[in-house]
């Protein structure tokens, strides 16, 4: 089962410190530092779908990132991936050709047989954030495990913003004060 953590922007950190309402937004299982060390060292060894006695299969991080991004977009209620800063930097990166809009807001860490995903999303206003987060975890884990054979140890989700339908409407231009 993937480790679970959902954060709602910077408020999550405040909620954790104050203990008020934080439990709903943040659910941790296991110690983060231990998990991270385990990931970096990689579980490895034979007997996994990727490391058989007949040969080894290596999946590049970029592949896992792309699969996670595709899976995240499949979930209803997700407006866009990436937060404000990530989107701004992503847009700048796209202009100079060093980043891909499709994978912004997603970062992964992979070992030889496991993967961990950090995701930043903007969610449609009105949707249940815990429900969307759970759907994201399920779908991302299912897709990554199905496509790459890597076991997903955790999917950490930061909800960076809410999208209101009116957000996309163009603001009317101010009338010119001089002709």
Partner 1 sequence: MPAPTAGQPPTTTRAELARLAARVAAKTTGVVRLSAGTPPVHVTDVPGRRLEGVSVVAAQPGCYEVTVCLVALPIALPELAEELREGVREGARITGLGDALGAIEVRVEDVVTDPPAGLLP
Residue 43 lies near partner 1 (rule: CB under 8 A)? no
Considering beta carbons, is residue 43 or 147 the nearer one to partner 1?
A: 147
Dihedral sign for Cα 111, 113, 116, 121, please. positive
Question: Stretches 33-41, 44-52, 74-82, 153-161: which one binds partner 1 (CB under 8 A)?
Answer: 44-52
Token output for 20: 């008020």
Number of residues that bind partner 1 (CB under 8 A): 20
Tell me how far apart the 2 most distant CA atoms of the chain are, in Å: 79
Spatial separation of the C-alpha atoms in residues 25 and 23, rounded to whole Å: 5
Q: Which DSSP category does 39 fall into?
A: H
CB 108 → partner 1: shortest distance, Å? 13
Given 52, 94, 128, 131, the residue binding partner 1 (CB under 8 A):
52
The stretch near partner 1 (CB under 8 A) out of 86-94, 104-112, 133-141, 143-151 is: 143-151
Q: Alpha carbon 18 to chain centroid distance?
A: 25
Hey, which residues does 138 pair with through a beta bridge?
A: none
Residue 147, both tokens:
């496509």
CA 27, distance to chain mean position in Å, is 16
Q: Which is nearer to partner 1, 43 or 70 (CB)?
A: 70
Residue 59 is a binding residue for partner 1 (CB under 8 A): yes
- The residues binding partner 1 (CB under 8 A) are 49-50, 52, 54-60, 62-63, 66-67, 70, 102, 146-149
């Amino acid at each position: 089962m993937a480790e679970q953590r959902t954060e709602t922007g910077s408020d999550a950190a405040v909620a954790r410190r104050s203990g008020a309402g934080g439990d709903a937004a943040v659910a941790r299982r296991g110690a983060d530092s231990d998990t991270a060390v385990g990931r970096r060292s990689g579980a490895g060894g034979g007997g996994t779908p990727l490391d058989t006695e007949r040969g080894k299969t290596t999946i590049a991080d970029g592949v896992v990132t792309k699969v996670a991004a595709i899976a995240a977009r499949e979930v209803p209620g997700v407006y866009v991936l990436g937060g404000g800063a990530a989107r701004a930097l992503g847009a700048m990166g796209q202009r100079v050709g060093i980043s891909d809009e499709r994978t912004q807001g997603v970062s992964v860490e992979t070992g030889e047989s496991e993967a961990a995903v950090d995701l930043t999303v903007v969610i449609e206003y009105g949707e249940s954030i815990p429900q969307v987060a759970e759907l994201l975890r399920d779908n991302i884990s299912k897709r990554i495990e199905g496509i790459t054979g890597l076991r997903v140890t955790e999917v950490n989700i930061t909800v960076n913003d809410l999208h209101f339908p009116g957000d996309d409407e163009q603001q009317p231009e101010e009338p010119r004060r001089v002709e």
